[in-house]
Each structure stands twice: as C-alpha cells, then as structure tokens.
Structure 1
C-alpha cells in the first residue's frame, strides 16, 4: 500500500511528521494534474490519497473529475478535509470520497458554499498562512459566544464583518479594528483577549489532523 497526502498551511509540517512519520508521503498543496502524476512517477500506485490543502488562485485547482477518475480507474480511497479537501469531499461524497471533520460538514450541509470560506494566502517556502480562513473565524466566533466571552449578536456581527473583507485581508486583528466603536468596549476587550489566547479553535488544523489519523487507522486495518 502507498499513501500520499497533499498538505500545506492547514497543518504545520512538524505536526504532520509527528503524526504520519514515514507511513504517509507528504506533498505540497494539490493542483490540477498532481493526482494523476502520482500514477506516472515510477512508484507503486497510491492506494490512499488525502487532500487537505490545494491551490485556489495560485494555480489551477484540482477538479472533481480528476478525483472521480482516480477512485474509478485506480480504486484509490480518497479523503478530504480542512480546505480544498473539504470542498471537494462535500461535492463527491455521494460517489465515495471520504469527508472528514467539521468544515466538510459545513459544506455538505450547505452552511457554507463559497470557495473563499477556506481560501487563504500563504508563504510558499514556509507554508505559513498569511491570513485567517473564514471557516476558522466562524468556528472561533461561535466558540466565543458558546463560552460566554461575548453575546450572540456580537459574535454574529464579527462573522458578518469578516465575511465582508476580501479573503487575503482576513485577520483577527483586522476584524477587531473594524469592530472598534461598533461594539461595547468591554465586549471588544474580551473578544480580543480570547482571540489572542491559546484556546482559540483552529478548525482547519483539527480537521487536517483528523484526516491523517483516519488514513493511518485505515492503513493499519488493511495491513
């Protein structure tokens, strides 16, 4: 069996290595043609393929047809989560693509439907994200309300404020700047403290880790 995962800014490289060690090959964010190239690189045909990150605007995005072809022609198990993987899995789960995590469920349920919800800009050398994905912000603002940091109407305003921004401009600092004067000062201070704390959710990372864990579990079960 051969397993490959396409991953970039959603899960830091050191975290990926700690989870998969040498059991899963890692590749940078997927783009059009990358999956088919796996079957022409001289190695064993991949049996398990994970898609976490993919290119949206930096290059041509992987198409649903490419994934369907791999599942049909090569009988590969294809998993999707967190970013491009969640988007494609929501489209293709009726045909056998395995969706993982909360972001996949957000797309599958129709709660979100736009590409910009997971799109970000990132440093291609370090894979460090340069902005915050909208889905992470939704989950974080929901958590702030659920934990009593701010009332529901403030959380909803924060989501609307973030959504109005062009995706490369989405950062928690930018949203907080936009909210200054629009919400009570004590709410602003509590929300700022929450977003700078260690407990702020990172939905993309959590879902990417869940995909890696599931791939490893399937590999062990089929060994």
Structure 2
C-alpha cells in the first residue's frame, strides 16, 4: 500500500481515482490516524482532503505530526486538509492549493469557510463552502462580470447564512433588488456556467502532488505544493 486519502464531498471518488491509485477513506475524524498507524504496513503518503467536525471531534495537529514523525509524507488541501496543513506545514506537512495558501497567509482564517453539509451515505454536498464562493467572486471581479459593490453585497449575504444553508443561489436570492439587475443576472449565469470549484481543483492538485512524490518526481511535487498559486487573484474581504 503506497497511499491513503481521506476524501469526501470536495471531489467525487470516481474523479479522484482517475488521478491517483490509492485507498480512499471517508472524511477524517479524531482517532483515524492512530488506527492507521496500527497497521503492519504504513502507507508512504497520506492525503487529507475532507474531515468531520461538529458532532465528531476533528483530527488534531498533534495526530498529524505523529504520522509525520513516523516518516510518512502527509499532504493537505481543500478543506480539513488545508486547515491542518496551514498549521503544520512548518513541521513537514505538505500544503497544496489555493485554499491552503489563503489560510497560510491569513487571507482566510475562519474554520467555517470550508464547512459544508453533506449526505453521510453518498458523500454528496448539500451546501456550498464559503471559500469556494470567495474564490468564484474574486474571479468574477477580475473578469468584470460584476463590480466591487455587487461582489461585496454577495459575500456579505453568503457569510450571513449558516453553513448548511449556504449556497450561491441562496446568496443571490438575498441580494435580489439590492444590486443592479444586469449584474445580478450576470453573476447568476457565471455561477451556473463557469465559476471555479476551488475545493475540487485543490483536491486534484493534492492527488497529483502525491502521485509525483510516489513516483519519485520530488521537484514536481514541490512546484505543485508551493508554486501553484502564483499569478492568482486576491480574495475580496
């Protein structure tokens, strides 16, 4: 066994399997890494994308560092993985993607930015993460789909929603009539067609970085981990 990845609603399992031959496990929770360390053969690499919280204790930085100390390379992106990588990258965890970078630099600092509701049986997302909406609006601003005032109104509406009810559609409904009609329509089209899914994009980057690491392409691993954000757009507040 070379790789284990804790994955949930950030990326469909079928899409993940196309990127990396790995053992895919459900979103990580407190104690899961300790159970993994009991196996007679440890993986060479572990990827943390999604994790559980609220009703279940989340994986702790200490648990991650215990695995790193055992010589296993641990990668994080997208959701819980990005949070833990932002805390642990100084001690050997590898952070990958734009969301990790946003947490690392302090552009984003709230845990609920990556939180969503999802179906426990199927893993299908039932809401949208705030961090995805932020990156989408930043891209819409850069592309002149909307102006700063509409972007600010949308983000304010989205952050005001409790995370299980948070979605682009709900935020758009909340600002209808409060922003120019043409910009509202343009932003609705944008979310329906071309808005990025940053969580999914970052998850794919993590899987590719793990693949590069496992095949011995260490330089490409480094470039994916630390260079992928160059030239990106700044997040609006």
For the superposition of Structure 1 and Structure 2, which TM-score range results when normalised by the shorter chain? Answer: over 0.9
| Residue aligning to 2:208 | 213
Would you identify which runs of 4 or more consecutive aligned residues in structure 1 move more than 6 Å? none
Taking only aligned residues, the RMSD between alpha carbons, in angstroms, comes to 1.4
The aligned counterpart of 1:81 is: 77
Aligned equivalent of 2:159, options 152, 157, 163:
163
Q: 1:90-109 maps to which residues of 2 (within 5 A)?
A: 90-109=86-105
Contact 2:116 2:164 in 1 (8 A): yes
**Is 1:116–1:134's contact at 8 Å kept on the other side of the alignment?**
yes
Q: What's 1:184 paired with? A: 180
Pairing 1:16–2:13 present: no
The 8 Å contact of residues 44 and 214 in structure 2, kept in 1 or not, is answered as: no
Contact 2:45/2:74 (8 A) holds in 1: yes
Contact 1:89 1:98 in 2 (8 A): yes
Superposition deviation, residue 35 in structure 1? 1.0
Confirm or deny that 1:25 pairs with 2:20. no
- Secondary structure (helix, strand or coil) at the match of 1:50 reads strand
After superposition, the C-alpha distances for 1:84-116 in whole angstroms (9 at most, x for unaligned) are 000000011111110000000000000111110
CA distance in 2, matches of 1:19, 1:86: 19
Match of 1:40 among 23, 38, 47: 38
Equivalent position of 2:47 in the other structure: 50
Report if aligned partners of 1:55, 1:61 keep a CA contact under 8 Å in 2: yes
Shift of 1:160: 1.5
Larger CA deviation: 209-218 vs 140-149: 140-149
Secondary structure at the counterpart of residue 196 of structure 1: helix
Deviations 1:53-87 (A, max 9, x none): 00022411000010111111x11110000000000
Instruction: Give unmatched runs, 5+ long, in structure 1.
Output: none
Uncovered stretches (5+) of structure 2, i.e. residues with no partner: 218-237
Aligned to 1:113: 109
1:88 and 1:136 map into 2 onto residues whose CA distance is 18
Aligned to 2:135: 139
* 1:108-149 deviations in Å (ceiling 9; x for gaps): 000111110001110111111000000000001111111111
Indicate conservation of the 8 Å contact 2:37/2:67, yes or no: no
Name the TM-score, length of structure 1 as normaliser.
0.94
2:65 paired residue number = 68
Q: CA deviation at 1:41?
A: 3.6
d(CA) in 2 for partners of 1:173, 1:189: 12
Aligned length in residues:
218
Contact 1:39 1:46 (C-alpha < 8 Å) held by counterparts: no
